[in-house]
């Protein structure tokens, strides 16, 4: 299942942070999923790394990843990704 244009975030130049706790529906297991920061400003350079998958108490699954801004200015982004095929 692919997804695009999810959420709206801003990150400063040189900053990084985690975006954890992403669930699909009722936190059902969707197998391996790829998440990426999709830059919304020209000349932005965002690095997505540290993909994670967490088994929650009760059997659900959450996903996450980290993003770092290697560009020279703050930038806006949303999230895109999907399952491996």
pLDDT digits (tens, 9 = 90+) for 34-49: 999 999 999 999 999 9
pLDDT over 80 at 3, yes or no? yes
Residue 55 covered by a domain: yes
Report how many domains make up the chain: 1
Is 85 a residue whose pLDDT tops 80?
no
Q: How far apart are CA 5 and CA 80, in angstroms?
A: 6
Residue 57: inside a domain, yes or no? yes
Given this model, what pLDDT does residue 74 score? Answer: 98
Residue 3: inside a domain: no
Structural domain span for residue 59: 15-22+44-73
Sheet architecture: strand order including 61-69: 16-22, 61-69, 46-55
4-58 per-position pLDDT tens digit: 999 999 999 999 999 999 999 999 999 999 999 999 999 999 999 999 999 999 9
């Amino acid at each position: 299942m692919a997804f695009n244009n999810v959420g709206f975030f801003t990150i400063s130049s040189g900053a990084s942070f985690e975006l954890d706790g992403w669930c699909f529906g009722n936190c059902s297991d969707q197998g391996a999923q790829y998440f990426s920061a999709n830059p919304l400003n020209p000349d932005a350079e965002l690095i997505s790394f540290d993909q994670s998958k967490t088994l929650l108490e009760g059997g659900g699954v959450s996903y996450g990843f980290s993003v770092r801004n290697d560009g020279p200015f703050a930038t806006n982004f949303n999230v895109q990704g999907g399952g491996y095929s």
